[in-house]
Structure 1
Amino acid sequence: MQDSTQPVLRDIILVGGGHSHVGVLRRFGMKPVPGVRLTLICRDTHTPYSGMLPGYVAGHYSYDDVHIDLRRLAEFAGARFFRTEATGVDREGHRVLCSDRPAVPYDRLSINIGSTPRVADAGGAADHAVAVKPIHRFNDRWLALLERVRTNPGPMRIAVVGGGAGGVELLLAMHHRLRNELQALGYDPDLLAFTLFTRGGSVLPTHAPNVRERFARVLAERGIAVHCNAEVTGVDATGLSTLDGQHHAADEVVWVTRAGGADWLRDTGLALDDSGFIQVTDTLQTVTDPDIFAAGDVASMVNHPREKAGVFAVRQGPPLARNLRLSLVDREPIPYRPQRHWLALISTGDQYAVASRGPFGAEGRALWRYKDWIDRRFMARFNDLPAMEESGSTGPRSRVPLEGEEARQAISAVAMRCGGCGAKVGASTLSNALGALQPVEREDVLIGLHAPDDAAVVRVPPGKAMVHTVDFFRAFVDDPYVFGQVAANHALGDIFAMGAEAQTATAIATVPQGLEAKVEDTVYQLMAGALDILNDAGCALVGGHTGEGRELALGFAINGLIDDEPGRIMRKGGMQAGDVLVLTKPIGTGTLFAAHARLATRGQWIDEALQSMRHSNRLAAECLHRRGANACTDLTGFGLLGHLVEMTRPSAVDATLELSALPVLEGAEETVAAGILSSLQPANVRLRRAIRHAEAMTDHPRYPLVFDPQTAGGLLASIPADQAEACVSELKALGYHHTAIIGHVDAQGDALEPIQLNP
């Protein structure tokens, strides 16, 4: 794993989660480079292995079988995972531009984003055809087609455009799966009609004649119509048109041809070939800029042009990782020469495959089993990750060459650091990082960041009371921008829970020491994420303090305003017997992030948890107040049970929780069942003495989750019973889709324990 005590000296940014980059991540995970930090920028958390995609469509594999969990792999590699989409490269500023977050600086950049089918080349194809890439969109359409066949079986015409290996293999997989679905329902599979369109004179034009003949035979045997020399020029809601003027009826059109580079590559200034792919040298560096590398389908090797095939992307992983390392230590990258011939194992949909290598061709079920063995072994390398030893306290010395001011900063970063005010982040670094940020402006802020002084000065309007709160914790996610969002949202939770308006925030941040440029960017990313949340809440950032520390951490002191009148403040006390308990967000963040640190979770689970943690409680609090909430609190470190006990005591009531009604984040039940718990859980479990007959519920799968500490959790409110259903409906309409009634408030009984759990 990366050594957290080693200051970051250089950044490698990997754009795209293709086959080459997963190889780079695994190699850096097995052998990190001290002082070098990897960051993966990718829109999707899971990346498909193209060799198994037809098998997934045919029904031989599950979704998880054919996807690599990029968030988990990045964690293994000690790399940051930024789930966003790259939209450009600022080569002069050495930054990757992103769709929904600040640009990310790089020292070396590698691009492995695959190819993009050019549906725009045929009129209407972008609107009426489904391209096989990006895979997540194709998968959504494919699942919808499956459901359509299952729920409304009947005649259907399916057309695939593209006669290469990819198009033929995908068509045969769809043919196999959909016909089987109809047969299982008791319908005639011949209700489905399949057609292949290719502008070439035959299918699989880049393969040997005997391979082409084999697939021509298979397609004929399956009753699939093949139109050769049929370039598709247009697609509409009724079908597609070809260059010869004919129109062919189709209910579904799948596009697997005319791939090119992403449109944004044209604005980078990098040399591209006629199809828009990045031209690279034998070292996989772009011919335009040696600091930028490219691999896989998006790369076009100038000296060794090859067909676009997954085998090349896989085999470019090791030389790409090697040359990225060498380029950072001022050593000459080593040329890579791809093989001229390779073994292609092309499936026919029914666990049968054809082998093709140069002039050689063969077929049979044994070849499919061989392909299956190869593919599963490849996937195991990235999904069955080995346990890694923790690095030592100092780690090996970095070999990244530094000169002048950078060398002085690096020596300072690893030396004994000052305490007290000497541990502050430098003034110029801080001012540069904050200079580009735009906090929301408020008329009641007299002195703030717009006119910095020793302290902020804020006016309290007449008739208002001040609400104060503070929160601070270390980072649990490797993306400073996302962490900034979560930390700000968490700190605002107490303000909203009391029904107050957020007014001002003062930040306190700890940032690992390192080169000034790296520290500056970390502070900028961190505070940019926080400002997204604060500005949305109308909360002005008015100041703060940033110091050095071993781990990234962030907190806020928040001031809020509330009407100074009786009954306006929502407090923990005030619950009434007969009230209904409403929870606005799912629970489970504690166990999920404990599991994430141990590589024992799935990326999609973490995605959902982070999305929940970034969802503001502001609108929920306003709704709860409108619906007459008698008491309210936000769920944080004490967990659901701890906060409920805090509400029952001052209210002098008891409460009943329905475990089956609790909204739970996906994966949380699995991780607690595996015994993976937050470090704060044992302290929270001491509150089991507040549960009546707790021993009767200890075997319930959700029992541990009532103790699970939450970060930026939802609001727990006590609502009059006659308002509860309307309140839940309104909250769901506001975007709190997991809102649920989880129990009710009871009159205080004779038992010492205030909480009753029901299954």
Structure 2
Amino acid sequence: MRTPDQPVLRDIVLVGGGHSHVGVLKRFAMNPVPGVRLTLICRDTHTPYSGMLPGYVAGHYSYDDVHIDLSRLAEYAGARFYRDEVVGLDRDLKRVKCRNRPDVPYDLLSINIGSSPRVNEVEGASEFAVPVKPINGFNARWLALLSRMENHEGPLTVGVVGAGAGGVELTLAMQFRLQNELKQRGKDPSQLHFHLFDSADEILPTHNPKVRSVFSRTLAERGVKLHLGSPVQQVRNGQLVTESGDILQTDEVLWVTRAGGPEWLKDTGLALDDGLFIRVRDTLQTETDDSVFAAGDIANVVNHPREKAGVFAVRQGPPLADNLKRMSLGKAPKDFKPQKTWLALISTGDKYAVASKGDREFDGAWVWRWKDWIDRRFMAKFSDLPPMEEDTKLPDTGAAQSAEEASQAISAVAMRCGGCGAKVGSTVLSRALGELKPIERDDIIIGLHAPDDAAVLTVPPGKAVVHTVDFFRAFIDDPYVFGRIAANHSLGDVFAMGAEAQSATAVATVPYGIESKVEDVVFQMMSGAIEVLNEAGCALVGGHTGEGKELALGFAVNGLIDPEDVMSKGGLRAGDVLILTKPIGTGTLFAAHARLAAKGRWIDSALSSMVQSNKTAAECLRRYGSKACTDVTGFGLLGHLVEMTRPSGVDAELDLSAIPILPGAEETAAAGILSSLQPANIRLRRGIRDQEKWVNHPRYPLIFDPQTAGGLLASVAADRAESCVQELKALGYPHTAIIGRVTAQDMEGAIEPISLKD
């Protein structure tokens, strides 16, 4: 996570990871504006390049070949990446509404979310047809169709609705791939039937007659049946019905027509056209609001109407970035004029392509090779990222919109008061925390609901108090997600001992900055934390928030437990088996993320694991009689296991092949990318018998990998272990595994208590 030295003065929020916005991110990365921060909000971590998507469907490219990794690109650009879906906009308060997180404030906003087929306009289409956009939904169905082909017998009929360039190209790509799949399995490819529908009287209506002629001939040669001049009126389960009354029996229906904007745009007050596309001026600013921009398919540049094609979204990236920069510095934006004619390269599925520009056409295998070269060169811009110099510029207070903001910015980089732990101002804190609703408990006498110098709690008769503390700096650029993980991590020790979480006191540091930006960071971070605490039944009773170089958060947590039911590290018994409830690998993955060496989907998997609570898992382990449990955190799997064997007076055997590993962790560890805590943890290798035999094993480095919000490591009686694992998986811990066994100690006080096997 890259932390800028200068305070944030202006927030530019990018909604959507389309072709224009990836260009904006790259342009800001190469020439950042001090004091200006970018935030990308996108549901998908990997965004497809539309020009290569048919090649991916046809089998010419891999998934990674045709997708831009937004997580990696945002990290490179120093932008925050929020993995969420936008569902609304409050222009009065300048806030973006998201589906699963608090609203995100902006100073300037840009929307580049593409378009989606409006399947709701045709009866049954939303239920029985597969819209090609958004691509992630289509990709899942496409992969499922490929999987079904393995066992499919008899004819297979696919209907594609929409005979523009996208529909024709996709039809030929799917046909090519599916026929190849059938041939490879020794099946008859003639059993595959494609039908292409459109209400227009001709295919590719926006292209010249020469292009249409080539594709008409190609479709005929490939046996694709055209249904033109009669719109699809209804989609049923297994049927397509046209307005003229024709009925086609289908196994799959894909929808590649009638694109439009999402419904939530209607409530924004922005000027829209009939297709719910945002009307924008030549500057790419919306007609309605100077602080809101739009680009790509979702934008209708009213003075320069063009068809929805990726080439325009790509070309809009640089002028959009430049105008966002100019506006953030108080300068006037400049007009953008798209080209009048453009080159379209349309493939036929079999490494053959047709070029179309104005009234010109040419085709051949060489055109596909040319297209392939252009596409790969474009993708390289966002995958081959050159190293960046550290940005040490002071803030440009020209980005400040008032004298007060400029003063706060200068103060933020000047010497700060260190008294009282450099506390954040009470007004900022009260505003940030005012909207949060921590739960209340009857055993909290004085807490946040009646703040005082300290919290006062009661302990029920027969209960003992469990007390723990954790604190660490942010390793991810999303304060809301970081808040969730920090709270989850801090609760882990309480759950591992079998206790009920009662209360938590927070300690946080936030980077220096102007009040409005500091306030939002505190609000986002504590929103995430309080959600987790509330879910755990744990009351936030107080805390301390100070200014610092980096964002950091921790909690002191109190828990309650029956002294007879404590699960401790010293409860291992010979003959028990060892169970791990979550995969390991967060240390190496986030070290790789900081070096732009981790795929975004690897980080997504790690975050999903880290935000999952151990509460339910701990309760399950108690039901199965576990007396020894710990959460796997900073000392790594081996370090925590050694901590358990020594007080228990036992040895243990670990099965390296059985340990669940997060996606990508073996790859990053093999590349030598390890956490900064790894060297300290490796000192525990002396606890491994015959450790020199295992140093070259691909999983050997991972047993030392420090974890954040890791899973539970526990022992369970051997005869109950399988049932316990199955229940844990049913409870939502799908990677739970038996990873070893507890053995009798070979000799008292042995310094090598751990044996490894593969």
Where on the TM-score scale, by shorter chain, does this alignment land: which range?
Answer: over 0.9
Please tell me the residue identity of whatever aligns with 2:488: N
Rounded to whole Å, the distance in 2 between the matches of 1:185 and 1:398 is: 66
Provide the residue aligned with 1:709 in structure 2.
706
1:631-685 C-alpha deviation (Å, 9 max, x unpaired): 1100110001110010001001010001001000000000000000000000000
Provide the residue aligned with 2:520 in structure 1.
521
Rounded to whole Å, the distance in 2 between the matches of 1:367 and 1:404 is: 58
Rounded to whole Å, the distance in 1 between the matches of 2:158 and 2:715 is: 54
C-alpha contact (below 8 Å) 2:2/2:75 kept by paired residues: no
1:496 lines up with 2:489 in the alignment: no
Rounded to whole Å, the distance in 1 between the matches of 2:47 and 2:7 is: 30
1:207-245 C-alpha deviation (Å, 9 max, x unpaired): 101111111111111111101102011100121111112
Provide the residue aligned with 2:450 in structure 1.
451
Please tell me the residue identity of whatever aligns with 1:477: I
Rounded to whole Å, the distance in 2 between the matches of 1:674 and 1:419 is: 42
Provide the residue aligned with 2:595 in structure 1.
598
Task: Report the secondary structure of 1:573's partner residue.
Answer: helix
1:558-587 C-alpha deviation (Å, 9 max, x unpaired): 0000113x3x10000021110100000000
Provide the residue aligned with 2:688 in structure 1.
691
Structure 1 residues 308 and 281: CA distance shift in structure 2, 3 A: same
Task: Report the secondary structure of 2:388's partner residue.
Answer: coil
C-alpha contact (below 8 Å) 1:208/1:360 kept by paired residues: yes
1:241-264 C-alpha deviation (Å, 9 max, x unpaired): 111122222111100000001111
Provide the residue aligned with 1:649 in structure 2.
646
C-alpha contact (below 8 Å) 2:182/2:188 kept by paired residues: yes
Q: Counterparts in 2 of 1:290-305, with a 5 A limit?
A: 290-305=290-305
The percentage of aligned residue pairs carrying the same residue is 69
Q: CA deviation at 1:112?
A: 0.2
C-alpha contact (below 8 Å) 2:35/2:395 kept by paired residues: no
Please tell me the residue identity of whatever aligns with 1:498: M
C-alpha contact (below 8 Å) 2:10/2:400 kept by paired residues: no
Rounded to whole Å, the distance in 1 between the matches of 2:62 and 2:328 is: 40
Structure 1 residues 214 and 74: CA distance shift in structure 2, 3 A: same
1:9 lines up with 2:9 in the alignment: yes
C-alpha contact (below 8 Å) 1:574/1:631 kept by paired residues: yes
Provide the residue aligned with 1:463 in structure 2.
462
1:121 lines up with 2:121 in the alignment: yes
Q: Counterparts in 2 of 1:94-173, with a 5 A limit?
A: 94-173=94-173
Provide the residue aligned with 1:250 in structure 2.
250
Provide the residue aligned with 1:581 in structure 2.
578
Rounded to whole Å, the distance in 1 between the matches of 2:414 and 2:536 is: 41
Rounded to whole Å, the distance in 1 between the matches of 2:309 and 2:344 is: 9
Q: Counterparts in 2 of 1:268-283, with a 5 A limit?
A: 268-283=268-283
C-alpha contact (below 8 Å) 2:446/2:456 kept by paired residues: yes
C-alpha contact (below 8 Å) 1:3/1:391 kept by paired residues: no
1:21 lines up with 2:21 in the alignment: yes
C-alpha contact (below 8 Å) 2:566/2:627 kept by paired residues: no
Rounded to whole Å, the distance in 2 between the matches of 1:420 and 1:654 is: 50
Q: CA deviation at 1:494?
A: 0.2
Provide the residue aligned with 2:667 in structure 1.
670
TM superposition score normalised by structure 2: 0.99
Please tell me the residue identity of whatever aligns with 1:600: A
Q: CA deviation at 1:397?
A: 4.0
Task: Report the secondary structure of 2:429's partner residue.
Answer: helix
Provide the residue aligned with 1:389 in structure 2.
389
Rounded to whole Å, the distance in 2 between the matches of 1:387 and 1:285 is: 32
Provide the residue aligned with 1:210 in structure 2.
210
Task: Report the secondary structure of 2:193's partner residue.
Answer: strand
Provide the residue aligned with 1:183 in structure 2.
183
Q: Counterparts in 2 of 1:340-739, with a 5 A limit?
A: 340-392=340-392, 395=394, 397-421=396-420, 423-564=422-563, 566=564, 568-739=565-736
Q: CA deviation at 1:390?
A: 2.1
Provide the residue aligned with 1:231 in structure 2.
231
Q: CA deviation at 1:395?
A: 4.5
Task: Report the secondary structure of 1:522's partner residue.
Answer: helix
1:127-171 C-alpha deviation (Å, 9 max, x unpaired): 000000110110011111111112223201111000100000000
C-alpha contact (below 8 Å) 2:9/2:400 kept by paired residues: no
Gaps of 5+ in 2: none
Rounded to whole Å, the distance in 2 between the matches of 1:194 and 1:408 is: 66
C-alpha contact (below 8 Å) 1:484/1:530 kept by paired residues: yes
Rounded to whole Å, the distance in 2 between the matches of 1:509 and 1:727 is: 38
C-alpha contact (below 8 Å) 1:3/1:395 kept by paired residues: no
Please tell me the residue identity of whatever aligns with 1:749: D
Rounded to whole Å, the distance in 1 between the matches of 2:174 and 2:309 is: 21
Q: Counterparts in 2 of 1:309-324, with a 5 A limit?
A: 309-324=309-324
Rounded to whole Å, the distance in 2 between the matches of 1:400 and 1:422 is: 30
Provide the residue aligned with 1:89 in structure 2.
89
Rounded to whole Å, the distance in 2 between the matches of 1:697 and 1:498 is: 32
Q: CA deviation at 1:188?
A: 1.2
Rounded to whole Å, the distance in 2 between the matches of 1:3 and 1:473 is: 15
Q: CA deviation at 1:48?
A: 0.2
Task: Report the secondary structure of 2:427's partner residue.
Answer: helix
Rounded to whole Å, the distance in 1 between the matches of 2:205 and 2:561 is: 72
Q: Which moved more, 1:316-325 or 1:233-242?
A: 233-242
Q: CA deviation at 1:398?
A: 4.9
Rounded to whole Å, the distance in 1 between the matches of 2:751 and 2:486 is: 37
1:168-210 C-alpha deviation (Å, 9 max, x unpaired): 0000001111111111111111101111001111000011011
Please tell me the residue identity of whatever aligns with 1:28: F
C-alpha contact (below 8 Å) 1:494/1:634 kept by paired residues: yes
Rounded to whole Å, the distance in 1 between the matches of 2:48 and 2:533 is: 37
Rounded to whole Å, the distance in 1 between the matches of 2:31 and 2:321 is: 11
Rounded to whole Å, the distance in 1 between the matches of 2:562 and 2:232 is: 67
Please tell me the residue identity of whatever aligns with 1:454: D
Rounded to whole Å, the distance in 1 between the matches of 2:238 and 2:417 is: 72
Structure 1 residues 408 and 397: CA distance shift in structure 2, 3 A: closer
C-alpha contact (below 8 Å) 1:2/1:34 kept by paired residues: no
Task: Report the secondary structure of 1:151's partner residue.
Answer: coil
Please tell me the residue identity of whatever aligns with 2:561: I
1:749 lines up with 2:746 in the alignment: yes
Please tell me the residue identity of whatever aligns with 1:34: P
C-alpha contact (below 8 Å) 1:14/1:38 kept by paired residues: yes
Please tell me the residue identity of whatever aligns with 2:374: I
1:604-646 C-alpha deviation (Å, 9 max, x unpaired): 0000000000000000000111101121100110001110010
Q: CA deviation at 1:422?
A: 6.5
Rounded to whole Å, the distance in 1 between the matches of 2:478 and 2:154 is: 49
C-alpha contact (below 8 Å) 1:2/1:77 kept by paired residues: no
C-alpha contact (below 8 Å) 1:153/1:182 kept by paired residues: no
Task: Report the secondary structure of 2:675's partner residue.
Answer: coil
Q: CA deviation at 1:72?
A: 0.4
Structure 1 residues 124 and 273: CA distance shift in structure 2, 3 A: same
Aligned residues: 756
Rounded to whole Å, the distance in 2 between the matches of 1:422 and 1:511 is: 12
Q: CA deviation at 1:3?
A: 5.6
C-alpha contact (below 8 Å) 2:7/2:395 kept by paired residues: no
